[in-house]
Structure 1
Amino acid sequence: MAKNSKNSRNSGRLKVAMIAPPWFEIPPSGYGGIEAMCAVLTDGLVNLGHEVTVISAGANGTRGQHVQTYATPQWERIGGLQEELFHMAAAARALDRMEVDIVHNHSLGGSLLARGLSVPTVSTLHGPLTDEPGDYYRLFEKSASYIALSDSQRSGADDINWCATVPNGVQVADYTYRAQKEEWALFLGRCTPDKGMHLAIDIARAAGMKIRLAAKCNEPPEKEYFRTEIAPRLDADVEWLGEVHGHAKTELLSRAKCLLFPILWEEPFGLVMIEALASGTPVLALRRGSVPEVVEHGVTGIICDTAEQLTYALKEVSDIDPRKCRQAAVRRFDASVMATRYEAAYRDLIAR
């Protein structure tokens, strides 16, 4: 299964099998943070001269080669065990016919393939690792290696087989930069309590600033949260936009005075934060999860410990220079930076 590539390591060119989850296309047309990251990384690796084969559901919109597991992405059954197992079985069959140097997995079941492969398997872990998720990954001991998105995520299970920490990246050039901002704050994310949308509304209102809400809201728990916590707060100073993507999303990010990110959980990595920075938009966030690793306090945003502190910070957000936000995004989170870091992790695993 997954025969070693004969020439790529000697020539410097790596052959990478990239296993994405089965839920959305690569890249996704709307919501799908993991799939978006897989697409950006694939193109970044191709730009570095490597050969990447994406194993995913639906159509392929990357510059890599493609093996399709499902003809249609399984977003209506997201999280389903049967769909995950079928996807991994199809991936295993595809790997039987491939010559690769490394398998890079982003799906829950990818670690199950590791023991049967003669090439290294590395999984980027995209979720929290407390309790059951951490116990699952510990079962594989040395047969699979793992990459964290942040040191915060890694600290939740520091005894599993980590090999690197690589922050997510975006194609910064795809984001519109504006130095002149409008007088409203933006919330962008999912309509769930842990994202703190209700707090974002309360913070903006207390500071006397309008806020626009752009969020995915189509699953039953999301709809219930909207009904009980968000709808009662809507008024002239709070605009509900629903889910946005594409040009509409980049316009919002570039025009907003700031991104409000009052998360209420230890988020491994908030992709929306670097999307805001790429747009020259400062991030105002609570000190949870990866926030201190992404936002440079006083330079690209303001980090606070309470919602009340964020209210006062919102009045001072004009002190943050949009140019420094964009420059930090290019320097730290551009797709080329992420791809180079993954290339180094791949080579280290292959050498070992």
Structure 2
Amino acid sequence: MLPHRPDRTTSPQTSDAFKILVISSLRYPIAEPFAGGLEAHTHALALGLRERGHSVLVAGAVGSDPDVVGHEFGMMPPSRPGERADITENDEVRAAEHRCFTALMDDVRDGLLGSFDLIHNNSLYSVPVERAATLPYPMVSVLHTPPLYWSERVLGDKRHRDSDFVAVSASTARSWAPLLTPRVVLNGVDTDAWPAGPGGPGAVWSGRIVAEKAPHLAIQLARAAGLPLTIAGPVMDTCYFDAAVAPHLGDDVRYVGHLERAELAALVGSSAVALVTPVWAEPFGMVVAEAMACGTPVVAFARGGIPEIVDPSSGRLIDPPADDVLDAADLARATVALHEAAALDRAGVRRFAVERLSLDAMLTGYEAVYRDVLRDHA
């Protein structure tokens, strides 16, 4: 039984409570320390929906938190040495993932997991979308990324309802055109789990350590501004880490590993500013919302969905560097932005996150989607 939280939205009336199957990624367990934002999102979503009175079963990977995932389904084989751990590149992994999702969808179709009002598809895999029309319940699929390799093949025939798809930002929604015109529900974070912190003298960078997140650029920015930098997160691409990050660690730049959420929240909350440096169109930016919930202002490249969730009261946006290489002018502009952001009122930064980027705001958005989808399918 989850504890009552007086700052949370009142649970819905019984008539508005839904029985929901959440399909998560089968690649990584839904357990701390989370492999990435998708796993953290699924964890918070399931617990938040239950707290609002909904019945939620999560189908997830072996090794998931048993308090969240009620049905473990499959285990992905390890990637080969030197391969990216967070993407499906080799044939063995791709085949295993396909078998796991196919078996899961067969069990859903045959009623082996129980009966539901609807399915919330929080995975990034094609099979649930392909099989949606064969299932006895409507499915809401959340688009956590720009279009994937299967998008055109699965959605190109236009035999889908746009209303069955939700994007995590307006930028991500636009990236799926002309295949889809999805609704938008901004991601949210549990602001109780990311409490206000006192700040501190240094900068922080957190997230999956992969080339597209570009912590090596954060190192350059922090050093130019004279700020010590702490990097935290799972090393998902060891080749990138060894070549672009490890050689630049030192007294003023440290890597502290893959932290549990409470440890990470304490680190972020005791930092002056959070750096977010993607070199791709970041679909949303969970680390942005997490930092602001801690009262820590953000300095981020204006890419993807990030400009939708950072305003002058909560941080500074900087132009991405040309060809993803920082020059002297980039460093000078970023130094000004970092010092301006660090001077922002931390209470105001947290207030912005609580009002716009909270778990409650996200759950309210999804409940509206569920009601509309159930009405449309009725």
| TM score, norm. by length of structure 2 | 0.82
Match in the other structure for 1:76: 78
Number of the residue aligned with 1:338? 362
Could you tell me which residue of structure 2 aligns to residue 48 of structure 1? 52
Match of 1:299 among 313, 316, 323: 313
Query: Residue 161 in 1 paired to residue 210 in 2?
Result: no
CA distance in 2, matches of 1:159, 1:341: 24
2:134 is equivalent to residue 116 of structure 1: yes
Uncovered stretches (5+) of structure 2, i.e. residues with no partner: 1-12, 80-85, 321-329
Q: In the superposition, relative to structure 1, how do residues 259 and 20 fare at CA in structure 2: closer, same or farther (>3 Å)?
A: same
Deviating beyond 6 angstroms after TM superposition, the runs of 4 or more aligned structure 1 residues are none
Q: Say which of 297, 310, 315 aligns to 2:334.
A: 310
- Structure 2 CA distance for partners of 1:192 and 1:247, relative to 1, 3 Å: same
Amino acid at match of 1:336: D
- In the alignment, which residue of structure 2 is the partner of 1:237? 252
Superposition pairs of residues 1-352 of structure 1, within 5 angstroms = 11-59=15-63, 61=65, 66-70=70-74, 73-74=75-76, 76-77=78-79, 79=88, 80-95=93-108, 96-97=110-111, 98-107=114-123, 108=125, 109-129=127-147, 132-139=149-156, 141-143=158-160, 145-178=164-197, 180-217=198-235, 219=236, 222-296=237-311, 298-306=312-320, 307-308=330-331, 309-352=333-376
TM-aligned CA deviation for residue 256 of structure 1: 0.7
**Deviation at residue 261 of structure 1 after TM alignment:** 0.8
Q: CA deviation at 1:112?
A: 1.8
Instruction: Decide whether aligned partners of structure 1 residues 323 and 142 sit closer, same or farther in structure 2, where only a CA change above 3 A counts.
Output: farther
What is the CA deviation profile of residues 96-116 of structure 1, one whole-angstrom value per residue up to 9, with x for unaligned ones? 213212111122021022121
Asked whether the equivalents of residues 187 and 362 of structure 2 are also in contact (C-alpha less than 8 Å), the reply is: yes
Cα distance in 2 between the residues matched to 1:42 and 1:318: 34
Partner of 1:5: none
- Provide closer, same or farther for how the CA distance between residues 262 and 84 of structure 1 changes in structure 2, counting only shifts above 3 A: same
What does the per-residue CA deviation read over 1:197-247, in whole Å, with 9 as the maximum and x for residues that have no partner?
111111111111111111321x4xx22222222233222211122322233
Mapped contact 1:292–1:303 kept (Cα < 8 A): yes
- Contact 2:297/2:342 (<8 A) preserved: no
Instruction: Name the CA distance, whole Å, in 1 between partners of 2:208 and 2:217.
Output: 14
Question: Which segment is superposed worse, 37-46 or 251-260?
Answer: 37-46
Corresponding letter in the other structure for 1:274: A
Query: Structure 1 pair 160/199, CA: closer, same or farther in 2 (3 Å)?
Result: same
Question: How many residue pairs align between the two structures?
Answer: 336
Higher percent of residues as strand: 1
Distance 2:340 2:14 in 1: 54
| TM-score, normalising length: structure 1 | 0.88
What is the deviation of 1:196? 2.1
Identity of aligned residues (%): 30
* SS class of match (2:78): helix
**Partner letter of residue 76 of structure 1?**
P
Structure 1 unaligned regions, length at least 5: 1-8
Inter-partner Cα distance in structure 1 for 2:122 and 2:34: 18
The amino acid that maps onto 1:290 is G
